[in-house]
Amino acid sequence: MRLEQLQAFLAVAETGSFQQATQQCHVTQSTISRQIQGLEVELGLPLFHRTSQAKLTLAGERFLPRARRICQEWHNATTELTELLEGKQSELCVAAIHSVSAQYLPPVLQQFCRDYPAVQLRVTSLGSDRALKVLKDGLVDLAIVMNNRFLTASPEMVVDLLYQEPVEVLMAAAHPLTRYKQVPWAKLALYPQVVFKDGYGMQRLVHEQFQRHVLDLKPLVELNTLDGFRGMVRQGEFIALLPQSALVEATHDPTLAVRSTEEPLLSREVVLVTTQDRIEIPPIQHFRALVQQLVAQPMLPVSETLGAASL
């Protein structure tokens, strides 16, 4: 059963004439007759009485409302896809890691809302692994995450490297490690740490770094908010390894201190990820361009990115 057969059937049923149906479908009468005959053969029943006026048979009357619904659904589907290609998208969903949501996304969101006022933005802060999963499941249109090549190395994924940033040490202002300008990794292993929950790329990155140095990590508390990290670290001997963009407020807090680590510095890559089928949709394409314009930063020198090799 083909769409043009259904359209021919509806045209004859509505006009009551094979001749008038040709004008509605813009085809010859022989084409209309052939399409109706093919449909009748497929259904196994005649749809019209062949008299001076094309009158529906009992089978034709039963089939008519279903044919209308099928053609209407087709019309609705093509209209919806056309509007999608024209940028008439009702909403755009983004998943982003917490530090990006707080530090870099606000100007992107404001500009996008000005450019696409009819598109509702839905932004969710998630850990990197979780954000990539919901992207693969089709629940969001873009994800801005810490890169995980095991999850992004597939043909349907489009990955834009936005920036690399160092991972630094957050501690209380009176912590013993504040005497170091660059804290040795062996000293970090002596203190209990606050780490991100499972599913966050930073948790995996920190664990891998300690394994690389053959050191034991002491992850006593798992959290997923930056306020929580700052609050725990203020309590005394707890420390936390966090990306530089997550430490902006801490650098202005007299109760906290931030230090870099010894060489080799640990860093993370932050990327925007979407899928091949989405980058052709105008609002998604535009949001991606805004992120590239307003968020992407110069990369760290090669000597400072050694710790990112395992991301």
- Is the domain defined by 164-267 classed in CATH 2.40.10.120? no
Buried (b) or exposed (e) across 179-216, using 16+ Cβ within 10 A?
Answer: eeeebebebbeebebbbbeebbbbbbbbeebbeeeeee
Q: Is the pLDDT of residue 76 over 80?
A: no
Decide if 91-161+275-298 and 164-267 have a common fold: yes
**CATH fold of the domain at 91-161+275-298:** D-Maltodextrin-Binding Protein; domain 2 (3.40.190)
Span 239-274, pLDDT tens digits: 999 999 889 889 999 999 999 999 888 999 999 999
- The domain limits of the chain are 3-85, 91-161+275-298, 164-267
Nearest CA to 57 among 29, 36, 85?
A: 36
Residue 110 phi, psi (nearest 5): -65, -45
CATH of 3-85, one of 3.40.50.300, 1.10.10.10, 1.25.40.10, 3.40.50.1110: 1.10.10.10
Nearest CA to 144 among 109, 194, 196, 195?
A: 109
- How far apart (Å, rounded) are the C-alpha atoms in residues 158 and 103? 23
pLDDT at site 310: 34
pLDDT at site 235: 83
- In terms of pTM, does the model score above 0.75? no
Partner residues linked to 195 by β-bridges: 222
